Structure 1
C-alpha cells in the first residue's frame, strides 16, 4: 500500500472551497454528493476515490443528512475538528438563512393572492418530486422479495397503524440482523474487496480511547446542556422546549434522509403540536427544494412557524428563535456522529450483521417515503380529507367533490418532466409556481 502522506490544503483554501460547495448545493443529496466528488476528488484532488467512497459509505449509515455529514467528514479529514465544523456549517448555514427568510416572507405575506398562487403551484410540483425520490430509492433498496415485504410492512405500519417512526426503524433493523443470522440475503452486494486507501492519514483520524471519550463528552454537552436548560427555564410545555426535544429525537432516528422522516414530522407537527397546517408542510418542502443545503432544512420552516405562532414573543422574533432552536438540535448531533465515530469507520464497515440491518432499514425507508407520497397526494389533490377507524387501522376518507383538477394537472406535468424527461428540478418548480400564479391572476 502506498503510504504517501496525506496532503491537506491550507485551512483558508479549504474554507473557501466548502463555502462554494455550500452555496451551490442544490438538487438534493445525490446532486450534492456529485458536486463534492467533482470538486474534492476530480478538480482539487484533495481526496482519492477510495477515501471519498469510504467516507460516503459511513455517512450513509448515519441518521441525518448524509451529504452534510459527508462535507463534515471531508473537512475533518483535512483539518480535524475545526475543518469538520467549518465544512459542515458552510454546507448548512446558507440554506438555513434562506429558508428562514422565506419563512418570514410566508408568515407576513403568505395571504397575498399572488403568493398563494405561487405556493399552490409549488406544492403540486413537490408531489412529483417526492414520487421521483420514491422511484430512485426503490430501485436502489428493493433488491429482492424480502426487501419488498419489509417496505410494504413499513408502509402499512406508518400509514394505517400509525406506529411511531422510531419503532418501525428499530423493527426493520432487528429484522435485517436476524436475516443475516438466518442466512437470508438482504442485498445483491458484491463480495469484492475495496482497494486500499492510498494515503497515510493524519494522527487525528486514528482510533483513540482518550479522544473518543473526550469528544463524546464535549458534543453530548453541546447537545444536551441547552436542552436541559430549556426544560428548566421554560418548562416542558413551552414551544421551544417541545421543538428542542422533538428535533433531538428526529436527529437520532432519521435514517434514510429527509424524505424518510417528513411524513412522521408532518404528522406530529400538525396533529400533535399544532405548529402548522397540513398543506403548510408541503409549502415548506417546496421552499426547501429551492434553497441550497440539505433538504432536511424544511424542519427550520416547521420550527419557525411553531415559534411564531405559539411563543409569547412577537411573531417574527418567535419565528427566528424557533428556527434557531430547530437548527441547533437537528444538526449538532450530526457533528457528534462524525467526530466520535469516523475513526472507527473501518471496524463498522466490516460488521456483516450491521450491514444487513441497515439494508433492511433502507427497505423500510421506501415504505415510509411511499406513505409520504400518499399523504402529500391526498392533501394536494383533495380539499377535504377525513379519517375512519376500522379495528386497529386508521383509513383515509376522501371527499371526491373536493378534488382539485388544477393541482392534479400541475403535479402530473411536473412528474412527466422530472421522471420521463429528467428535467432540472429547480426549473420544474419554477414553472409550476408560475402556473399557480397565472391561475390566481386569471
Structure 2
C-alpha cells in the first residue's frame, strides 16, 4: 500500500515545526564560507547536535542535491526540511536559508549604488577585490584536486577553459558538451569517469540509532504520474507567474524582463557551484547587457563572501545595479529593489521545484554509472570554467584598460600594460600569502586586504 502524497513518513518524531523554524533561522545566520562551510554548519547542527538526521541519510540527501542545478546547500536545506515537515518544512527551510543573505546584499547594494563615488566606499572595495581574486583561484585549486583524478579529466578541464575563454562558447553549451562526453565516455572508459568522485560515500558502519531520519526511514512520497503533473504545474506557475506579471506591468522589453529571462536560464545550468556560472554571468552582465562596469563583479563577490547565504546571491547585486542604472520610469532605488526580488525569485524558485518534484525519481538513479560519468565530466569542465573566471577577474582587477582582439572565432584579451595597478598586484600577493602560506582562511584574508586597501586609498587621497 502506497503512502498518500506529501504526508509525514510513518515514523513518529517530536520535532515541532516551531523548533524547526528556529533551527533553520540559526543555520541561515551561520551560513558563511560558501557551500562547503554551509554544509558543514548543517551537518554539525542537524547530525551531531540535534540528531534529526543520521550521517548516512545526510550524505544520501546531499548526493541527491549534487545531481541538480542550483546551490546545493540551499537545496539540501529544502530537502531535509521536507523530510521533517513535508512541503511547508521545505519551503520554510529553503526560504530562511536565503533570507539573511538577501537582506545583507540589498543593504550593501544600496550603499554601494548611492555612495560608490565616495572615497570611503572606493577604499573598502579596493582591497576587497584583490582578496576575492585569490579566493576564486583557491576555488580552482580545491575543486581541481578533488575532481581531476585522471589525466583525461585534466584535458577536459583544459578544453573547457579554452572553449569559454578563447572562443566565447556559452557556459550552458560547455556543461552540456561535458555531460555528453561523460555519459558516453563512462561506457568506453569507466575507470576515467568514475574517478571524479563526489562528496564521499556513506559508511555502512555505525548508524545514529536515535536520529529522526535514518537510512531506514521510509520515503515521504511515492512517484506517480498524478503527482508529477501536479507538482510540475504548481512549480512552473509559482516560478514564472510573478515574473510574467512583472513583464506585463513594465513591458517585455524592460530590464526587469531581461533579468527574469536571463536568470531563469541560469537557474537550470548552474551545475558545479556558483563560481562556475558566475564567470558567464559576469561576462554577460558587462559585455552584453551593460548592467555592470568591468571589475564591479568582484565587488559583488566580496559582498557575497562576507555575508551569510549562498554565494550565488551575488546575482542580486547584479540585478540591483542593472536596474538602478536603467530604472524604467521608477526611481533608481525602487527599480533596484524590484530587480533584487525579480532576480532572487528567478534564481531560487526552481530549486524548490527540483526538490519537490525530482527527489523520488533521483533516488531511483543512485548508482547509475552513466549518470555518474556525466556528473564527473561536468565537474572536470567546471574547473576550467572557474579558471576562466579567475583569469577574467585578474585582468579586470589588475588593469584599468582591457581590450579584445578577434581572429575569426578566436577571441584574445589585450590588457594595456601601462594601466597595470601595482598596489592591486601587491594586495593580491598579500592575500595569496595569507590564504595559501599561512592558511588564515577566507574571512581573515578578506578583512586583512580590505583594511590594507582602505588605508592605502585613504592615504593616497589625503596626500594627493
| TM-score of the superposed pair, with normalisation by structure 2 | 0.91
Residues 1:74 and 2:90 aligned together? no
Return the match for 1:252 from 251, 268, 279: 268
SS of match in other structure, 1:397: strand
Query: Which residue pairs with 1:240 in the alignment?
Result: 256
1:60 and 1:308 map into 2 onto residues whose CA distance is 35
**Contact 1:4/1:198 (CA < 8 Å) preserved in 2?**
no
| TM-score of the superposed pair, with normalisation by structure 1 | 0.96
Query: Which residue pairs with 1:97 in the alignment?
Result: 103
Residues 1:212 and 2:219 aligned together? no
Return the match for 1:47 from 53, 57, 68: 53
1:93 and 1:202 map into 2 onto residues whose CA distance is 31
RMSD of Structure 2 on Structure 1 (CA):
1.9
Moved more, 7-16 or 109-118: 7-16
1:206 and 1:402 map into 2 onto residues whose CA distance is 61
Query: Which residue pairs with 2:141 in the alignment?
Result: 135
Moved more, 162-171 or 204-213: 204-213
Query: Which residue pairs with 1:378 in the alignment?
Result: 395
2:383 and 2:155 map into 1 onto residues whose CA distance is 11
Residue 295 of structure 1: CA displacement? 0.3
1:260 and 1:192 map into 2 onto residues whose CA distance is 24
Return the match for 1:321 from 338, 341, 357: 338
1:357-390 CA-to-partner distances (Å, cap 9, x unmatched) read: 0110000000000000000000111111111112
1:231 and 1:138 map into 2 onto residues whose CA distance is 41
Structure-to-structure mapping, 1:291-370, within 5 angstroms: 291-311=307-327, 312-370=329-387
Change in CA separation of 1:150 and 1:203 when aligned onto 2, cut-off 3 Å? closer
**Contact 2:55/2:202 (CA < 8 Å) preserved in 1?**
no
**Contact 1:64/1:255 (CA < 8 Å) preserved in 2?**
yes
Structure-to-structure mapping, 1:100-179, within 5 angstroms: 100-179=106-185
Gaps of 5+ in 2: 1-8, 208-212, 460-464
Residue 431 of structure 1: CA displacement? 1.6
1:210 and 1:204 map into 2 onto residues whose CA distance is 16
Return the match for 1:389 from 388, 391, 406: 406
**Contact 1:8/1:78 (CA < 8 Å) preserved in 2?**
no
SS of match in other structure, 2:268: helix
Query: Which residue pairs with 2:462 in the alignment?
Result: none
Change in CA separation of 1:187 and 1:199 when aligned onto 2, cut-off 3 Å? closer
1:414-438 CA-to-partner distances (Å, cap 9, x unmatched) read: 1121122221312211121111111
Residue 8 of structure 1: CA displacement? 5.7
1:259-287 CA-to-partner distances (Å, cap 9, x unmatched) read: 00111001111111111111111110111
**Contact 1:8/1:46 (CA < 8 Å) preserved in 2?**
no
1:213 and 1:421 map into 2 onto residues whose CA distance is 53
2:61 and 2:30 map into 1 onto residues whose CA distance is 21
Query: Which residue pairs with 1:57 in the alignment?
Result: 63
Change in CA separation of 1:13 and 1:289 when aligned onto 2, cut-off 3 Å? same
1:85 and 1:281 map into 2 onto residues whose CA distance is 30
2:180 and 2:172 map into 1 onto residues whose CA distance is 12
**Contact 2:60/2:202 (CA < 8 Å) preserved in 1?**
no
Structure-to-structure mapping, 1:18-33, within 5 angstroms: 18-33=24-39
Residue 315 of structure 1: CA displacement? 1.1
